[in-house]
Amino acid sequence: MSRYIMTVETVKIKDFLFSTNKLRIIRGASYLLDYLNQIVVPEILKNNGVKKENIIYIGAGNAKFFVDSEDIAKKIANEVKKAYKIKAPNSKIVASFAKIEYKVGGDNSKNKRKIWEDIDELAKNTAIEKSKGFPMMNLDFIGVEKCELCGRNSAQISVENLERDLENIGLNVKDGRVKLDDFSVENDYIIEDGYSIEIPKLREQIKDLTGTKNGTRDNKGIICEECLRKLIFSNKVKDAESKKKISFYNNMKEEYKDDIELGTEISDYENGKSFIGFMYSDGDGLGDFLKNVADKFKKETDNPKVEEEYLGFLNKFSETLDRNTKDALLEAIKEIFAEKKDEKRFGEFLIVGGDDVCAVFNPELVLELSEKFQKIFEEKMKDYIKETKAKDSSITSSSGVIIAKSKTPAFQLFEQALKLQKSAKAKRYNCSAKTGFIDFQVIGSEGCVDIDSFRETINKKYNLVMERPYAIDIEESSKVKNVEKLFTAINELKKIKFPKNKLRYIYELKRDEKLEDFEKKMEFINILSKMDKKHINFIKENYNIDYDYQEFEKYFNNIFDIVELYDFVGGEVDEN
């Protein structure tokens, strides 16, 4: 009988998470996907006879395992897709499988195809499934009312007829509470979910989110099933009765004894000028590391258990990667908030798992939090890699940080942070570095600003004003700097109360293309003449400027980095 290796994978996660700007809904979406991956999928596998020894790993939206037949593979695929369709409407899942020779616990020494070849074949099949795309429904019809939270789905739930509408979508309404629906597959078995929420509480939350609580808006308090289920799961995040710990919030609850306050709006994390910080961090070097390890295993031709050991490595690696990501973020939070008085509202953790971190923080903390997380993660992975077959490899994390107005749509925050994260990752690749990088941008008004075009306008090769992306921990050169050095410079400037308007004047002077070099020098001397001695000494010492300096364009190559982050590293300051 043929055996198969199979994978089920959640895709287009960001589309599902950022369908709305409401943090409560985004949080619920994240927790819902974790719940499906870590609770529902394992239960489906168990009920289809997939034993623990046949599971390679489950986590971070993926599951990879062995099944005994193509029929079982197809049955599991259908059941998983059905579960996601019911519990997380509009989420996207792909499932694929490939035939194998490998037998768990059996003699695999005479196999013609090795398990790593089967995994490569499975990856190809998965790519084909992803390329098929997903059907989309056009709801732009006259008379079809849209959800007042996401604006893309038809509204099925109304606060005016909440109990009836909840029953219409299959939820169990009893004794003033609504219970999450149990999941059954053709009556073969039932996956129970005992969580319930009071209907009056749910009604008030819908009113609050749609702006109909005080009757001051034109909205009717109508939402779609997708947003409703996300809302219910946002309440489940703090469910003390949860049988299994899932999502990063459980790590936070364990550390801080449930003393965490969750925001409702992105604006809950803004500073006095309505800015928030948004970070997205992703692992570097995983593909190279896994390839190097696989190459080592392939050379062990005399090892009869080489395939079994390789699968054991994959299982441990996925668990270690996920644990190190969560532990590194928690340690960074503990370090940053060790001296903070307000510990109740740390941040909003949208994605934390695998090698990904996506979170919202106060704008005055987000850069330092990202840098500390990246550094701690790097050290943890370095310690792990020392004990593997690819000791010369490195796994790091590169990050994109956006500081923007809290009114900026969440999907735009993510898109911009992703763009910066890719910029940081590209810099790491170009430098052949064994450390992560960080790129950042402050966006004053429009979240859809073209960052690349903006940078090309202000940052000329012959007259640099930015040195980003910065490294996390690298031996510095004239071309690459560590971001910690930038933070230190800004903190020192604040310590001596260096006027921000003077920094901006230097930046504008550098960019002024109407002035000749000697004219810029004269203007700069004029600026210096009006400064305190301690400010002059800072410039002289940090930029190596002497009385015989030559071209003005060669100095202050990071002046815009300093000006832009001046209010967001070490707290806000007065304009002057």
pLDDT digits (tens, 9 = 90+) for 543-563: 766 555 567 778 899 999 999
Range from 111-125, 379-393, 447-461, 548-562 carrying the lowest mean pLDDT = 548-562
d(CA 571, CA 530): 26
Q: What angle do CA 230, 233, 239 make, to 5 degrees?
A: 165
Contact criterion met (CB below 8 Å) for 163 and 173: yes
Report whether pLDDT(29) > 60. yes
Amino acid 135: pLDDT: 74
Amino acid 573: pLDDT: 57
Report whether pLDDT(142) > 90. no
User: What SS3 class is residue 206?
Assistant: helix
Residue 389 CB-density burial (10 A; 0-12 exposed, 13-18 middle, 19+ buried): middle
Range from 84-93, 145-154, 247-256, 463-472 carrying the lowest mean pLDDT = 247-256
Length of the chain counted residue by residue: 576
| Confidence band, pLDDT 50/70/90 cuts, at residue 243 | low
C-beta neighbour count of 397 within 10 angstroms? 32
Contact criterion met (CB below 8 Å) for 32 and 86: no
Mean pLDDT of 69-85: 95
Q: What angle do CA 429, 367, 473 make, to 5 degrees?
A: 45
User: What SS3 class is residue 514?
Assistant: coil
Better-predicted residue by pLDDT, 325 or 217: 325
Amino acid 507: pLDDT: 93
Mean pLDDT of 191-219: 85
Where helices occur in 143-214 by DSSP H, the ranges are 162-168, 199-210
Amino acid 422: pLDDT: 97
Residue in this structure with the two tokens 């939350």, named with its chain if needed: 205
Report whether pLDDT(141) > 80. no
For the chain, what percent of residues have pLDDT higher than 70?
A: 90
Handedness of CA 497, 502, 504, 510 (dihedral sign): negative
Amino acid 111: pLDDT: 83
Residues contacting 118, CB < 8 A, separation 6+: 5, 98, 99, 100, 101, 102
Mean pLDDT of 26-37: 94
Q: Report how far apart the first and last C-alpha atoms of the chain are (Å, whole number).
A: 77
Where helices occur in 61-198 by DSSP H, the ranges are 70-87, 115-131, 162-168
Amino acid 386: pLDDT: 95
Handedness of CA 202, 204, 205, 207 (dihedral sign): positive
Contact criterion met (CB below 8 Å) for 78 and 70: no
Range from 104-118, 142-156, 334-348, 376-390 carrying the lowest mean pLDDT = 334-348
Amino acid 489: pLDDT: 93
pTM of the model: 0.91
C-beta neighbour count of 428 within 10 angstroms? 24
Amino acid 576: pLDDT: 47
Give tens-digit pLDDT for 474-520.
Answer: 887 767 899 999 999 999 999 999 999 999 999 999 899 898 888 88
Residue in this structure with the two tokens 């005080």, named with its chain if needed: 214
Amino acid 337: pLDDT: 85
Short-list 225, 220, 81, 94, CA closest to 166: 225
Mean residue pLDDT across the chain: 89
Strand 437-443, strand 396-405: pairing: parallel
Report whether pLDDT(37) > 80. yes
Q: Which domains does the chain have, with CATH numbers?
A: 157-244 (no CATH), 247-449 (3.30.70.270), 483-565 (no CATH)
